[in-house]
Amino acid sequence: MRTLERQDVQGLVVSGYAHMHCASFLLLRIGDPAAARHWVGELAGRVTTSEKAEERRCVNVAFSASGLGRLGVDEDDLDTFSVPFREGMAEDHRQQILGDTDASRPDEWQWGRAMS
């Protein structure tokens, strides 16, 4: 049996952070790929792994397929990911599968408050 390399697994994957009482999310678009790669590199050392329980705050990172592409991940490598991941949640047929229709469709989603 192989040992789980917990230092390479984000804490959310293993624990679901059931002990945490709130969460904040920051959604970003990549405008400057070089600056984004630098920022991700700086952030990597702060990501909460599943090595030990974190009691105060956790930092996790997730990317969309298009975000990985903007960061420079090769198309051949992106093709190794699952079709649902590559398509994204807002594709018409995926909306039907997920039940994201009518008032729940993606163009009705509200993320935080508008920034001016």
Cβ count within 10 A of residue 11: 21
For residue 72, what pLDDT is reported?
96
| Overall average pLDDT of the 81-90 stretch | 92
Instruction: Identify whether 76 is part of a domain.
Output: no
Instruction: Identify whether 36 is part of a domain.
Output: yes
Amino acid at 80: T
| Overall average pLDDT of the 52-75 stretch | 91
Instruction: Identify whether 32 is part of a domain.
Output: yes
Q: Quick check: 77 pLDDT over 90?
A: yes
Q: Containing domain of residue 17, as a range?
A: 1-62
Instruction: Identify whether 9 is part of a domain.
Output: yes
Instruction: Identify whether 39 is part of a domain.
Output: yes
| Domain total in the chain | 1
Separation CA 33–CA 31 (nearest Å) = 6
Instruction: Identify whether 72 is part of a domain.
Output: no
Instruction: Identify whether 93 is part of a domain.
Output: no
Instruction: Identify whether 1 is part of a domain.
Output: yes
DSSP 90: T
